[in-house]
Amino acid sequence: MSDDEIDAYWQMADDFCEQCSENKILGHSDNIQGGMELECELMTNGFCCGGDEDYSGPEFEKLRQNIGEWTLLLQIGSNDENEMMWCDCGKIYLWIKKSDLRERKFDKSWLVLQCD
């Protein structure tokens, strides 16, 4: 690529990162790679996620029924101004079961990182 093309690419990346800096407490997550509730349920029940595992079968279907119990606690997006960069303009999400939130058991929360 030419120098001008490289500069244009990085300007586009910077513009994109500015749009990715949305932070929130509670509410709906702004997913980059899809829903995270099943991952939280599987991980807290001893299953490793992130590989080529097949998440089908009776034990997974039982856990899949529990994904409505998870809620977003905190979302923090990448932000150049605050020198926070989660991989490639990603976001970190802190999830918690609704019952744990009601009981203020924040130590039961689960962190997920998503990026492009």
* Domain range annotation of the chain: 3-114
The answer to whether residue 103 scores a pLDDT higher than 90 is yes
User: Can you give the pLDDT at residue 69?
Assistant: 95
The whole-model pTM stands at 0.71
The answer to whether residue 74 scores a pLDDT higher than 60 is yes
Is pLDDT larger for residue 106 or for residue 9? 106
Give the residue carrying structure tokens 């990162």. 17
In the predicted model, what is the mean pLDDT of the chain?
80
The string of pLDDT tens digits covering residues 12-58 is 766 665 554 488 889 888 887 888 898 888 888 877 766 656 666 67
User: Can you give the pLDDT at residue 3?
Assistant: 80
pLDDT class of 97 with cuts at 50, 70, 90 = very high
- For residue 61, the SS3 value is helix
**Residues 79 and 96 sit within 8 Å (Cβ to Cβ):** no
SS (H, E, C) the chain: CCHHHHHHHHHHHHHHHHHCCCCEECCCCCCCCCCCHHHHHHHCCCCCCCCCCCCCCHHHHHHHCCHHHEEEEEEEECECCCCECCCCCCEEEEEEEHHHHHCCCHHHCEEEEECC
